[in-house]
Chain A
């Protein structure tokens, strides 16, 4: 049974001890709770553990009481599936042993499902169901209104400007790895931009920071040229691995922007402190710049130095928005509906927090928060 509670309640002279397997964990841990129902002259508790079949017990902890009435201790060194028993020695201020309390056998077991994350699982599943609903609606031909995103509308203009000027376009997919969804979102945008670039016969330069992202970016660009019917325009050396050192990458990309005189710069993905170096250098060359990142700390820099910035979720929506595939754009609608739902819930919770106490409604917000986030 998941999270089986093998607890025992022993009482000795006003001391209650409860031992149980820690629920919703990977096993190997037993929780001991000591409650004093009346004031006692106890300064320390020595805890000894003995495993089933062993004859020698092992000291696992020495806890200071310091007048506390409730003490909790988690023994994290228990073998799974092996019953153990604890003996607690209650030591007085003078160092005498006032008594001992022995628990019954308790067994640490790993859990198959973390019950504390139930709400989180249900919330995510509901959101996925909402996304699938909108996708099915879009497949049936239902028209979905999408709010305009200025940065995305300007993507085509930026490519057009570069084409008119006869200068290349620079695309940086950020400094994160492929396991970061922001990088995948950046590659989705790269695919769209490359198709446009191929149609306009413009050059695109893609310096990459991460080796795995490089191999994928190479494929994305190559396939986008093929999809646009211009595989002859694809230049393998324009999609290249630059370096995996942060500021060396910033220096390298800045150098490319200055030497190649790129007319449009796209910074999409996750960026760190180098964001401002890239954006300011690009701005100094007079290029039109569109950035998109979910790195909250870097957003102000991009907003200041770039012409357009995709903030947070707009980066994830961009690929779908640009592709104009109804099933993809339907997910943006789902995102917006979920955001509106969450905003309404937050407003309600805030109202309850303000008005609740006046109406006699007392909520333990710490427990509420732990339940919501699954801690």
Chain B
């Protein structure tokens, strides 16, 4: 109980107070301590990667045993071990096979997923801009003004460009700031709850 509950709560309380104080202390010793903490988190993170990869392997092996998504699981395991083996034994320099696979397979796959966003944005915009009620109609009109204003049409129609800029810089920025103020207050409240040990879900409830 002490090691699983009390000690983590004491550590969180002490480190929480120190972390808060460090923000107001510009002394080099404070910066040094902050850097040390960052290095600790990197060290802890490397242990976590080991656990995370283990969970990944366990999941795919279980899938193969159960005959569920067998093909995908084999592809994932071959890719995982293949790339790790290539990196460890054949190097990761610019001309290595590891880099060639990364640049010619991984990067295009990433780009493919990213490019899908264009279609998803169109589909989402269609749903959002349907003029079903007053609010949706206002949204539609505002969106049309902003889209036209920041496009090449805005170069010839100055009033459209200025209206679009006003929408982005005044009402849009005001709501963004409103949300950010709320976020800031929420972050402080959550941090206080964790530091004081009232919120304990992060260590399992």
Query: Is there a chain B Cβ closer than 8 Å to A37's Cβ?
Result: no
B48 and A214 contact, CB distance less than 8 A: yes
Q: Are A220 and B201 in contact (CB under 8 A)?
A: yes
Residues in A with CB closer than 8 Å to B48 are: 211-212, 214-215
Enumerate B88-141 residues with CB–CB distance to A below 8 Å.
Answer: 106, 109-110, 113-114, 116-117, 120-121, 123-125, 127-128
Please, how many angstroms separate the alpha-carbon atoms of A317 and B110 in the complex?
34
Q: Quick one: which of A114, A191, A299, A334 contacts B24, CB cutoff 8 A?
A: A114
Instruction: Mark B40-57 against chain A: 1 for CB-CB distance below 8 A, else 0.
Output: 010011001101110110
Instruction: Tell me whether A280 and B123 are in contact (CB under 8 A).
Output: yes
Are A211's CB and B51's CB within 8 A?
yes
Any A CB within 8 A of the CB of B142: no
Chain B nearest CB: distance from A357 CB in Å? 21
Measured CB to CB, the closest approach of chain B to A49, in angstroms, equals 20
Neighbouring A residues of B31 by C-beta, 8 Å: 26
Which B residues are in CB contact (< 8 Å) with A223?
A: 203-205
Q: Does A227 contact B (CB under 8 A)?
A: yes
Given contacts A245-B110, A311-B179, A335-B186, contact A224 B205 (CB under 8 A): yes
| Contact, CB under 8 Å: B182 / A276 | no
Pick the contact of B199: A127, A179, A328 (CB < 8 A): A328
Check if A237 sits within 8 Å of B25, measured CB to CB.
Answer: no
Contact of A187 (CB < 8 Å), options: B51, B180, B201: B201
CA distance A303 to B128 in the complex (A): 9
Query: With the chains together, A187 CA to B29 CA distance in Å?
Result: 33
CB contact under 8 A between A181 and B191, given known A26-B26, A114-B24, A114-B25: yes
B112 nearest CB neighbor, chain A only: A247
A residues near B120, Cβ cutoff 8 Å: 276-277, 280
- Which of A94-102, A105-113, A162-170 is found at the contact surface with chain B? A105-113
0 or 1 for each of B64-91: is its CB under 8 Å from A? (1 = yes):
0000010010000000000000000000
Q: How far is the CB of A328 from chain B (nearest CB, A)?
A: 6
Output the nearest chain B residue to A311 by Cβ-Cβ distance. B179
- Given A114-B24, A299-B179, A305–B202 Cβ distance below 8 Å? no
* B residues 179-205 touching A (CB-CB < 8 Å): 179-183, 185-194, 198-199, 201-205
Taken residue by residue from 274 to 292, chain A's Cβ proximity to chain B (1 for < 8 Å, 0 otherwise) reads as: 1011001000000000000
CB pair A277–B113 under 8 Å, yes or no, is yes
Give the docked Cα–Cα distance between A224 and B62 (Å).
23
Contact of A236 among B26, B58, B203 (CB under 8 A): B58
Is A131 interfacial (CB 8 A cutoff)? yes
| A276 vs chain B, min Cβ distance (A) | 5
Chain B min CB distance to A110 (Å): 5
Chain B residues within 8 Å of A185, by CB: 186, 190
User: Which residues of B are found within 8 Å of A153, using beta-carbon distances?
Assistant: none
Which residue of the partner chain B has the closest CB to A180? B187
- The answer to whether B69 touches A276 (Cβ under 8 A) is no
Nearest CB of A to B144, in Å: 16
Contact A276–B121 (Cβ < 8 Å): yes
A-B contact pairs, 25 of them (CB 8 A): A26-B26, A113-B24, A128-B192, A131-B189, A181-B191, A184-B190, A185-B186, A211-B51, A214-B48, A227-B205, A240-B59, A241-B56, A273-B114, A277-B113, A294-B179, A296-B179, A305-B127, A312-B179, A312-B183, A316-B189, A319-B199, A320-B193, A331-B192, A335-B185, A335-B186
Residues of B within 8 A of A (CB): 23-29, 31, 41, 44-45, 48-49, 51-53, 55-56, 58-59, 62, 69, 72, 106, 109-110, 113-114, 116-117, 120-121, 123-125, 127-128, 176, 179-183, 185-194, 198-199, 201-205
Starting from the known contacts A110-B27, A110-B28, A181-B186, 14 additional A-B residue pairs (CB-CB under 8 Å) come to A24-B26, A114-B26, A184-B190, A188-B201, A191-B201, A220-B202, A237-B62, A240-B56, A241-B55, A255-B72, A294-B179, A311-B182, A316-B187, A319-B201
